[in-house]
Structure 1
Amino acid sequence: MAILSAEGALGSVPIGDFHTEAGGVIDDVTIAYRRWGELQVAADGATNIILVEHALTGDPDAADWWGALIGPGKALDTERWCVICTNVIGGCNGSTGPASPHPDDGKAWGSRFPAVSIRDQVHAEHRFLRELGVGHVHAVIGGSMGGARTLEWTLLYPGSLDAACVIAVSARASAWQIGIQSAQISAITRDPDWHGGDYYDVCEGPVTGLAAARRIAHLTYRGEMELDERFGTTPQQGEDPLGTHRRPDQRFAVDSYLDYQGLKLVQRFDAGAYVALTEALNRHDIGRCRGGLNKALYSSKVPTMVIGVDTDILYPYHQQEHLSRNLGNLLGMHKLVSPVGHDAFLTEDRQMDRLLRRFISLANDGAEPTDGFGHDPEGEWII
């Protein structure tokens, strides 16, 4: 068993050359990760690992973006569980991706980086665990792109986990999702500073295109009701979007908000990784080569909880209902009620705390969950 990185610290594990399902090869791959809690391994190889899967522009620091849920006494109790979060292959937060140096010349992979799929992400993560000497985890939990990875875990490596929690995702990318995600890719690749993906030694990169892609994406992450309640038709302070001519420096408040979201992403994320991971979401289809969606879902025997958001525009709630109707071993179907939309699984801490406690309890022995002090915090569950 390999020695894990210090608690909360960024660690990395080399997994060697990686072959994608489409036939590409990525040389000398490294997978980055963080962990919280102490690893425990039983005589039969079972562990107390809970693997948390991040979303598209997430990172391995799950204790930051899910800070209300990971830690001592919290839903993912690090006094009981060893919580591990990796950075996906193709990402830009420590794992090998388009911005990483190519072993042949030390320059960024750029356009040489092969397309990866959700299955590739899971295969790479499985190899990462194997390199650590881990053959089994207690549970896999993920939302959005992380939910797609969680679903694939149940089908690719069903013997390697005891339970799964799939949040705010579908069994495959819908035509609408592919369309909206391809529009984001187009915004980046049409930026003159994209340079075919080989901008790393040329310029700062397609920052305008990446910011535009984030604006498009963020409108699918948040709820229509939430945005209208927050901004409505209010002008940005000190600006007048109702003048005689349209001017880009005269904005509605919501425009300023979206500009801010784009700027934040540009400062922390690589455009090449954004394209690679968005393309992976476009390729998401658990029914491919498995006889179709329903047959694939029914074949899954891993106990799986499904969580959806009632106002989700990106992955509408009916898609989680489809999962719940067809999964071969359903632990439960639960609804987050929130005006926030898709991002509710990241913002509705109180509801997510309840649901993850319930998931852990059902995955163990079916006992009713508690709030950490021995009693049910709400008295009922949203089912």
Structure 2
Amino acid sequence: MSDTSTAAPQLPIEGELCTVAIGNFRTEAGADIAETAIAFQRWGVFKGDPHGQNNVLLLEHALTGDANAANWWDAVIGPGKALDTDVWCVVCTNALGSCYGSTGPASTHPDGNAWGSRFPAISIRDQVNAEAALLETIGITRVHAVLGGSMGGARTLEWTLLHPERVGFALVLAVSARASAWQIGIQSAQISSITRDPDWHGGDYHGTGRSPDAGLAAARRIAHLTYRGELEIDERFGTSAQSGENPLGPFRADDQRFAVQSYLEHQGKKLTERFDASCYVVLTEALNRHDVGRDRGGLNKALHSITVPTMVVGVDTDILYPYHQQEHLSRNLGNLLAMSKLSSPVGHDAFLVEARQMDRILRQFITLTEHYAAEQADSPRNDC
């Protein structure tokens, strides 16, 4: 959108899911997605210049998250909370490729059927560019800050590289600068669990009356072990048997389980009730392709080129994105605002469940951005 007027952006009713058409979208790899739409929600009143200084905080959700950030981050979003909606306008989109309002493989193709296997592979960069197109369509070309964890952290990092002129500050939580071989391996195993399910049908199971639920549940069981800390899982379950079952009998049986098996099966079943398997595959593949150094002269050169003041947060017990990966970010970012450690036995998911620590970290981030912005405004200009 070339119009740079200061008209108020087109925002939905607070908390209401809104889906916006952004037209045909071309992916980084050269595929086309016709009639693309991105869904989003907002909380708080917009204030300021949609093309300059304003109060927009753009939140990025994790892999199976959605635009309803006030639900999955309820402890920190709202009046008087760390992301104070009396002060800030909090906006959260649903990622391209997901199944919560934005266009993805489970969405309806222009021909009336599901996209299915016709939906192309996408990258984190594609998700960010689609999100940028959404913001431009509703009349916002700059935000005060972008914040996100896990896949949302990867999107946040890419925002600082793809559209630095549109971002005032960034908060990157629990992610790395690129997918490691271990991450690609564990994520590829999850994809394989789904695509080897007999009900996968090459990704074209929509409309068949069946879906690869067994594969998706298995993928979630694998993933969940990387989301939670080893110490927490062992402390909760140890080698205990599931109530009424005996996993130590003379023959192994599927219905005679350790307690941790029952827990993981429950997590898998919950996901099949709310998420689409093909979307899980597309989003997981996007994480496999995450590499901020690709076509930018390598990892450290790309990180050093980041001019957006960025705060980095890691979890000390994170198995999926170990803390040393956030330390690598902090050492190489071109404009490090701050570094913080979240200490928790929970592991990767700590940024979603450790409410007290996240409250402190987010308040620190907001304060730092305000002080930094004030210092920049007060700095004398050299007009010579």
TM-score band (shorter)? over 0.9
Alignment partner, residue 53 of structure 2: 46
Distance 1:296 1:365 in 2: 26
The amino acid that maps onto 1:349 is A
Q: How does 1:1-383 map to 2 (within 5 A)?
A: 1-42=8-49, 45-103=52-110, 105-365=111-371
Q: CA offset at residue 47 of structure 1? A: 2.0
Aligned mates of 2:356, 2:347 — CA distance in 1: 16
Structure 1 gaps of 5+ residues are: 368-383
* TM value normalised by structure 1: 0.94
Count residues in correspondence.
366
8 Å contact from structure 2 (residues 50, 142) kept in 1? no
Superposed CA offset, 1:74-101 (max 9, x none): 0000000000100001000000000111
Letter in 2 for 1:125: E
Residue 43 of structure 1: how far off its partner (Å): 8.1
- Alignment partner of 2:16: what SS? coil
User: Residues 44 and 189 (structure 1 numbering): CA distance in 2 closer, same or farther, change over 3 Å?
Assistant: closer
- 1:366 and 1:150 map into 2 onto residues whose CA distance is 19
1:9, distance to aligned residue in structure 2 (A): 0.9
Runs of 4+ in 1 over 6 A off after TM superposition: none
Q: Aligned with 1:312: secondary structure?
A: coil
Letter paired with 2:60? E
The one-letter amino acid of 1:88's match is A
Question: Does the 8 A contact of 1:53 with 1:140 survive in 2?
Answer: yes
**Counterparts of 2:264 and 2:66, CA distance in 1:** 21
Contact 1:193–1:203 under 8 Å retained in 2: no
Residue identity opposite 2:99 in structure 1: C
Displacement of 1:354 in angstroms is: 0.3
CA distance in 2, matches of 1:41, 1:123: 23
- Read off the aligned partner of 2:118 and give its amino acid letter: R
Percent identical residues: 70
SS in 2 for 1:71: coil
Q: Could you tell me how far apart the structure 2 residues matched to 1:129 and 1:27 are?
A: 19
What secondary structure, in the 3-state scheme, does the structure 2 residue paired with 1:186 have? helix
Give the AA of the match of 1:292.
Answer: G
Q: Distance in 1 between matches of 2:370 and 2:275?
A: 37
Deviation at 1:366, TM superposition (A): 5.0
Helix, strand or coil for the counterpart of 1:193? coil
SS in structure 2 at match of 1:115? coil
Which deviations, in whole Å up to 9, do the C-alpha atoms of 1:218-256 show, x marking residues without a partner?
Answer: 000000000000000000011111111111011100000
CA distance in 2, matches of 1:43, 1:314: 36
Report how far residue 110 of structure 1 moved: 0.2
Partner AA of 2:65 in structure 1: G
Deviations 1:290-310 (A, max 9, x none): 000000000001000000000
Aligned residues: CA RMSD: 1.0
Q: CA deviation at 1:107?
A: 0.4
SS at match of 2:200: helix
Shift of the alpha carbon at 1:42? 2.7
Secondary structure of the residue that 2:225 maps to in structure 1?
A: helix
Task: Report the CA distance between 1:161 and its aligned residue.
Answer: 1.0
